[in-house]
């Protein structure tokens, strides 16, 4: 058996693991990064990047159908799935090459193979023992199912959905969270009939309720069907499709069922508990500084309970590298991490919903303003509707921003700076926004909360 020694060993080369590696070498550490599949993990190969490429193709399909309204002659003839796949795979392979080059250029040692934690300071890969003064666990997540709901045949997860070489005629989606509504949006734009089944009372149930309701209205207008507040009971498969039975006795027939009920942590059988790590329902429990409690052993990314987002993984990876270096990095709570759902219309949010802010700061201590995009020139040009809601503490900072509408995801940068820098609307008010932009809508909401509305009533 051979042994390699590093300052830091990282198990898993996805968003969390590779970000930790990049920051660690910047800080002068030697790093061994263990990856069994491809650097970049879920986000690059099976998550963020491929789905956003599909959503962009979907947007072009919608624009082509609508072109005549803008005075442009075009005919929508259909979706060439192999061409969409080639476009998507082209982006992934270029980003993958870029990432491999960056990891190599920074002097990170990549150890290819499946790793297992065999001691708090050591990972075994085949017959190699990779020893680190510190070890970071970053093994990510997989598509979960429900008890008794087996994946296979016409019952698929997002991984198989990305590999389809056809547009289904009719598709059912179990789960109205981010992944479910993004695929619903793509398939509808590609010409499929779509039905979403969600057990909770609203689509995107983690968002501000008024945003969920606006999405439901927009989806209804687009002809995307949904059944809310009703639980899945069973599914049967036959030669041409599936029949899904719900607990209220309703049935939904479709060619395929996409199961999008969340993602479970990849931790089983990897030696974590044997090394002294606390694992709860598969997730690695850490303190707020991402330490597992076992000296020198940290965890980052989707295996740590909370938001499962690529940029949270990046942030946690950077955090742990800096923590090991003794730089005492600041903690960013999950509530202050920006979230975007890239369906049409888009949803973007950060911070507290109005209800949560009222709970935390007191109902009479918070105020909010919701600006309707109907008043925004650029949104009118784009023919998108929606709103931007800003929540503030009275005589205090902005604590939440909640947006829905075409392209609003791009506005989250300003919103997250305002919330994380604890800016008061009065601080932001003097800095006007370029005209005509959708940013102006955010500016109008800040101006209104600073009690000097320009166009708002
Ligand atoms: C369909 C879909 C769409 C998404 N869209 C977005 C989005 O738009 N924006 C966003 O922020 N997030 C999105 N996400 C979530 C995002 O992909 C994850 O939050 C992110 O990838 C988590 O990073 P991670 O490093 O924790 O795990 P992962 O990216 O899953 O990486 C873990 C890595 O560890 C490796 N590994 C696991 N076990 C071992 C082992 N024993 N030995 C060696 N290697 C191992 C795996 O091969 C993998 O490469 C999406 C996810 C999905 C599924």
Structure tokens at 425: 């609307």
Question: Does 214 map to a domain?
Answer: yes
234/148 Cα distance (integer angstroms): 8
In contact, 348 and 338? CB cutoff 8 Å:
yes
- Residue 394 has φ and ψ, to the nearest 5°, of -60, 135
Structure tokens at 229: 């507040």
Ligand 1 atom at minimum distance from 302 CA: 26
Residues 257 and 273 in one domain: no
Question: Does 433 map to a domain?
Answer: yes
pLDDT of residue 265: 98
Structure tokens at 167: 């547009």
Ligand 1 atom at minimum distance from 263 CA: 53
Q: Give the containing element (helix H, strand E) for 129.
A: strand 128-137
pLDDT of residue 79: 98
Question: Does 148 map to a domain?
Answer: no
Mutate to test the pocket of ligand 1, among 10, 11, 15 (most ligand atoms within 8 A of CB): 15
Ligand 1 atom at minimum distance from 114 CA: 42
Domain closes at, from 210, 242, 261: 261
Angle at which helices 15-26 and 81-105 cross, to 10°: 30
In contact, 54 and 179? CB cutoff 8 Å:
no
CA torsion, ordered 208, 211, 213, 216, to nearest 10 deg:
-130
> Which member of 238, 402, 435, 455 is catalytic?
435
Q: What is residue 78's DSSP assignment?
A: -
Residues 83 and 120 in one domain: yes
Ligand 1 atom at minimum distance from 52 CA: 8
Quote the ligand 1 centre to 386 CA distance (angstroms): 31
In contact, 271 and 309? CB cutoff 8 Å:
no
Residues 255 and 308 in one domain: no
Question: Does 456 map to a domain?
Answer: no
End-to-end, the C-alpha distance of the chain in Å comes to 73
118/121 Cα distance (integer angstroms): 8
443/453 Cα distance (integer angstroms): 9
Measured by CA distance, the residue closest to atom 38 of ligand 1 is 139
Burial class (CB in 10 A: 0-12, 13-18, 19+), 428: buried
Residues 206 and 192 in one domain: yes
Quote the ligand 1 centre to 453 CA distance (angstroms): 43
Question: Does 149 map to a domain?
Answer: no
Range of the domain at 180: 155-261
Residues 111 and 16 in one domain: yes
SS3 341: strand
- Residue 103 has φ and ψ, to the nearest 5°, of -60, -40
Residues 268 and 167 in one domain: no
315/11 Cα distance (integer angstroms): 17
Ligand 1 site, CB within 6 A:
11-17, 34-37, 41-43, 46-48, 51-52, 114-115, 138-141, 158, 179, 266, 270, 301-302, 308-311, 313
CATH number where 214 lies: 3.50.50.60
Global pTM reads: 0.98
Residues 211 and 276 in one domain: no
Domain closes at, from 213, 246, 261: 261
Question: Does 225 map to a domain?
Answer: yes
Q: For the chain, how many residues are written?
A: 457
Mutate to test the pocket of ligand 1, among 47, 91, 114, 267 (most ligand atoms within 8 A of CB): 47
Cβ neighbours around 333 below 10 Å, total:
10
Question: Does 394 map to a domain?
Answer: yes
Residues 170 and 312 in one domain: no
Quote the ligand 1 centre to 100 CA distance (angstroms): 16
Burial class (CB in 10 A: 0-12, 13-18, 19+), 421: exposed
Q: pLDDT per position in the chain (457 positions), as tens?
A: 899 999 999 999 999 999 999 999 999 999 999 999 999 999 999 999 999 999 999 999 999 999 999 999 999 999 999 999 999 999 999 999 999 999 999 999 999 999 999 999 999 999 999 999 999 999 999 999 999 899 999 999 999 999 999 999 999 999 999 999 999 999 999 999 999 999 999 999 999 999 999 999 999 999 999 999 999 999 999 999 999 999 999 999 999 999 999 999 999 999 999 999 999 999 999 999 999 999 999 999 999 999 999 999 999 999 999 999 999 999 999 999 999 999 999 999 999 999 999 999 999 999 999 999 999 999 999 999 999 999 999 999 999 999 999 999 999 999 999 999 999 999 999 999 999 999 999 999 999 999 999 998 8
Residues 97 and 123 in one domain: yes
pLDDT of residue 456: 87
Which residues, including other chains, have CB under 8 Å from residue 210's CB and lie 6 or more apart? Answer: 370, 387, 389, 402
Quote the ligand 1 centre to 53 CA distance (angstroms): 17
pLDDT of residue 96: 98
Ligand 1 atom at minimum distance from 34 CA: 43
247/356 Cα distance (integer angstroms): 31
β-partners of residue 129 are 3, 124
CA 297 to each of CA 111, 283, 290: distance values in angstroms, whole numbers, following the listed order: 19, 15, 9
pLDDT of residue 457: 81
Q: What is residue 411's DSSP assignment?
A: G
In contact, 445 and 375? CB cutoff 8 Å:
no
Question: Does 454 map to a domain?
Answer: no
Measured by CA distance, the residue closest to atom 27 of ligand 1 is 140
Domain closes at, from 334, 359, 381: 334
- How many domains are contained in the chain? 3
Q: Which of 221, 169, 164 is nearest to 193 (CA)?
A: 169
In contact, 326 and 186? CB cutoff 8 Å:
no
Please report the beta strands in 313-365, taking only residues with DSSP state E, as ranges in sequence order: 339-341, 346-351
Residues 280 and 320 in one domain: yes
Residues 249 and 271 in one domain: no
Residues 247 and 285 in one domain: no
SS3 430: coil
Q: Is 455 a catalytic residue?
A: no
Q: Which of 329, 349, 318, 345 is nearest to 418 (CA)?
A: 349
In contact, 446 and 366? CB cutoff 8 Å:
no
């Amino acid at each position: 058996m051979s042994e390699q020694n590093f300052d830091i060993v990282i198990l898993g080369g996805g968003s969390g693991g590779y970000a930790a590696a990049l920051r660690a070498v910047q800080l002068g550490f030697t790093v061994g990064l263990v990856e069994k599949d491809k650097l970049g993990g879920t986000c690059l190969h099976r998550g963020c990047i491929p789905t956003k490429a599909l959503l962009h193709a979907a947007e072009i399909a919608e624009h082509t159908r609508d072109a005549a309204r803008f005075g442009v002659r075009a005919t929508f003839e259909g979706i060439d799935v192999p061409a969409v796949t080639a476009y998507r795979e082209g982006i992934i392979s270029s980003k993958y090459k870029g990432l491999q080059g960056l990891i190599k250029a920074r002097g990170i040692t990549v150890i290819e193979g499946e790793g297992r934690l065999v001691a708090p300071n050591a990972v075994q890969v085949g017959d190699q023992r990779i020893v680190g003064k510190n070890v970071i666990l970053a093994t990510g997540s997989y598509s979960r199912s429900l008890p008794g709901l087996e994946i296979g045949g016409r019952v698929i997860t997002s991984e198989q959905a990305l590999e389809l070489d056809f547009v289904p005629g009719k598709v059912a989606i179990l789960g109205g969270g981010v992944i479910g509504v993004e695929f619903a949006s793509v398939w509808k734009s590609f010409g499929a009939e779509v039905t979403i089944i969600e057990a909770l009372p609203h689509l995107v149930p983690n968002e501000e309720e008024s945003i969920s309701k606006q999405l439901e209205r927009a989806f209804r207008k687009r002809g995307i069907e949904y059944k809310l507040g009703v639980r899945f009971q069973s599914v049967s498969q036959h030669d041409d499709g599936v029949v899904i039975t719900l607990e209220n006795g309703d049935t939904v027939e479709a060619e395929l069922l996409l199961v999008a009920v969340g993602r479970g942590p990849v931790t089983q059988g990897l030696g974590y508990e044997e090394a002294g790590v606390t694992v709860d329902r598969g997730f690695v429990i850490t303190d707020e500084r991402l330490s597992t409690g076992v000296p020198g052993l940290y965890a980052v990314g989707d295996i740590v309970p909370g938001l499962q987002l690529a940029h949270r993984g990046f942030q946690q990876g950077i955090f742990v590298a800096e923590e090991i270096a003794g730089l005492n990095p600041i903690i960013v709570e999950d509530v202050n991490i920006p979230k975007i759902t890239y369906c049409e219309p888009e949803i973007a949010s950060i911070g507290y919903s109005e209800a949560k802010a009222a709970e935390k700061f007191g109902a009479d201590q918070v105020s909010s303003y919701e600006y309707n995009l109907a008043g925004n020139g650029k949104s009118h040009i784009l023919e998108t509707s929606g709103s931007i809601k800003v929540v503030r503490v009275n005589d205090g900072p902005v604590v939440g921003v909640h947006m829905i509408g075409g392209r609003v995801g791009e506005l989250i940068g300003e919103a997250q700076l305002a919330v994380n820098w604890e800016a008061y609307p009065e601080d932001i008010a003097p800095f006007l926004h370029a005209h005509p932009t959708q940013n102006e809508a955010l500016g109008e909401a800040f101006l209104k909360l600073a009690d000097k509305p320009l166009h708002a009533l």
